[in-house]
A and B are shown apart, each in its own frame.
Chain A
Amino acid sequence: MVTYPAAVTDDDLVFKALADPTRRFLLDLLFQRDGRTLTELESELAMTRFGVMKHLRVLEDAGLVVARRSGREKLHFLNPIPIQLIHERWIDKYRERHSSALIDLKTQLEGMA
């Protein structure tokens, strides 16, 4: 039987948040220009205000978006750190193994010659 860890980790929240085209689009919008209001973001999407709010909420829960109040407005900022951490955890690690495997192969082949 396969068992899963009971706790939902930060990584789970980030992967789940990224597994949706609308949410990736919202992140790209903030990447282009950071610190936008809900109204500004909503104007770029064919979706209700409530729908956009729901997506932003998922991004905020995953830490990918940080909302800050500025006077009467709520501004949304892209927070790149969760993606950086996933990069370190899931990408650098496998890349290192891949390249060290190639180095081992090279050493072995050269040793045979």
Chain B
Amino acid sequence: MTTTATAIGTTQVYRVYIKATPDAIWDAITKPEWTERYGYCGRADYDLRAGGTYTGYTTAAMRSMGAPDVAIDGEVLEADPPHKLVQTWRMVMDEGMKAQGFTRVTYEIEERKNGVSRLTLTHELEGAPQLAVLMSGGMEDEGAGGGWNWVLSGLKTVLETGESLDPAGHQ
């Protein structure tokens, strides 16, 4: 996917079916021991109540390349474990993206049949076109990771197999 050939919408929706309980998926999203094992592998720190803060930290590898301690900041708007988490979300590692301000991320987890749960992530990216490109995976070739698609595939893999999707590929 190239960034120039694609008109990115202001809302992105991702859905993945995972053979895991809603509780396990909730933990994988909100607990640092899980968030360090997939996607960008940063430690997440959530105060899981409306008005609570969210901080997504960079990894040691990112910091060794000059990244600041904090990658993402935000505020929890709604926490209904293990079904729904709504939060604001701002990428602060990059000045341009930071200036585009807070976006909004909603995680919805629904239990389906046979031990499978459905995770739907909606990212409302009004006013943040640069972040929209990043999160749609449009900067993967520049080493910026594959966005939500990549993060959620990794989450599925780690929950279903206990293994990281791409242990050597951390950026």
Chain A residues within 8 Å of B, Cβ to Cβ: 10, 31-35, 63, 66, 68, 75, 77, 79-81, 84-85, 88
- A68 adjacent to B149 (CB under 8 Å): no
- B14 adjacent to A80 (CB under 8 Å): yes
> A85 CA to B10 CA in the complex, in Å?
24
> A79 CA to B121 CA in the complex, in Å?
10
Partner of A68, one of B6, B8, B13, B146: B13
Partner of B153, one of A31, A35, A81: A81
Contact partners of B9 in chain A: CB under 8 A: 33-35, 77
- A80 adjacent to B17 (CB under 8 Å): no
Q: How many residues of B contact A (CB 8 A)?
A: 22
> A10 CA to B16 CA in the complex, in Å?
11
- A81 adjacent to B15 (CB under 8 Å): yes
**Which residues 117-132 of B have a CB within 8 angstroms of A?**
120, 122
Q: Can you sample 17 A-B contacts with CB below 8 Å?
A: A10-B17, A32-B6, A33-B7, A34-B8, A34-B9, A34-B12, A63-B16, A66-B13, A66-B14, A66-B15, A75-B11, A77-B9, A79-B13, A79-B14, A81-B14, A81-B15, A81-B16
Contact partners of A79 in chain B: CB under 8 A: 13-15
Interface digits, B129-158 against A, CB 8 Å rule (1 contact, 0 not)?
A: 000000001000000001001101100100
> A33 CA to B16 CA in the complex, in Å?
21
Contact partners of B17 in chain A: CB under 8 A: 10, 63
- Contact of A84 with B153 at beta-carbon distance under 8 Å, contacts A31-B6, A33-B7 already known: yes
Partner of A66, one of B8, B120, B149: B120
- A84 adjacent to B12 (CB under 8 Å): no
> A23 CA to B119 CA in the complex, in Å?
24
**Chain B CB within 10 Å — which of A32, A34, A66, A80 has the most?**
A80
